[in-house]
Chains A and B, each alone.
Chain A
Amino acid sequence: MAQYRKIARDGLWDNNIVFGQMLALCPLLAVTGTATNGLGMGLATTAVLVASGLAVSLLRGAITPEIRIPAFVLIIACIVTVVDMALNAWVHDLHKVLGLFIPLIVTNCAILGRAEAFASKQAPLASAFDGLMMGLGFTLALTVLGGLREVLGSGTLFANASVLLGARFGFLETVVIPDYQGFLLLILPPGGFIVLGFLLALKSLADSRRRAASAAETARAARSFTAVGVLPRPEEGETS
Chain B
Amino acid sequence: MTDTAPDPSRLSALKTSPLAPGLLLALFSLGTALILALSDDLTRDAIATRATEDLYASLAQVMPPASYDNDPTTSLRQMLDGEEMIPVYVGAEGADVSALAFALTGYGYGGAIRVLIGLDAQGTLLGVRVLAHAETPGLGDKIETAKSDWVKGFAGKSLQSPAPDGWKVRKDGGQFDQFSGATITPRAVVATVHRGLTLFKANRAALLAPLDAEERG
Contacts and interface: CB of A to CB of B under 8 A. Distances in A.
A120 interface: no
Contacts of B180: 181-182
B136 A85 contact: no
Contact of A184 (B36, B53, B181): B181
Contacts, number: 72
Classify the secondary structure of B's interface with A.
helix
Contact of B181 (A67, A74, A182): A182
A3 B32 CA distance: 32
Nearest to A90: B46
A70 B26 CA distance: 11
A125 interface: no
Contact of A163 (B24, B28, B146): B146
Interface of B: 20-21, 24-25, 28-29, 32, 35-36, 39-40, 42-43, 46-47, 50, 53, 136-139, 146, 180-181
A90 B42 CA distance: 11
Contacts of A163: 146
Given A82-B36, A154-B138, A163-B146, 5 more contacts: A33-B138, A85-B43, A89-B46, A182-B139, A187-B139
B139 A184 contact: yes
Given A64-B20, A182-B181, A187 B43 contact: no
Contact of A74 (B28, B42, B47, B53): B28
Contacts of A82: 35-36, 39
A87 to B, nearest CB: 9
Contacts of B42: 89
Given A81-B39, A88-B43, A67 B28 contact: yes
Classify the secondary structure of A's interface with B.
helix
Interface in A48-83: 62-64, 66-67, 70-71, 74-75, 77-78, 81-82
A193 to B, nearest CB: 16
Among B39, B146, B180, residue most surrounded by chain A Cβ atoms (within 10 Å)? B39
A86 B38 CA distance: 12
19 contacts: A33-B138, A63-B28, A66-B21, A67-B21, A74-B28, A74-B29, A74-B32, A75-B32, A78-B36, A82-B36, A82-B39, A85-B47, A88-B43, A88-B46, A89-B43, A89-B46, A182-B181, A184-B139, A184-B181
B153 to A, nearest CB: 21
A120 to B, nearest CB: 14
A160 interface: yes
A34 B136 CA distance: 12
Closest 9 CB pairs of A and B: A89-B46, A89-B43, A66-B21, A33-B137, A85-B43, A154-B138, A78-B32, A92-B50, A67-B25
Nearest to B15: A64
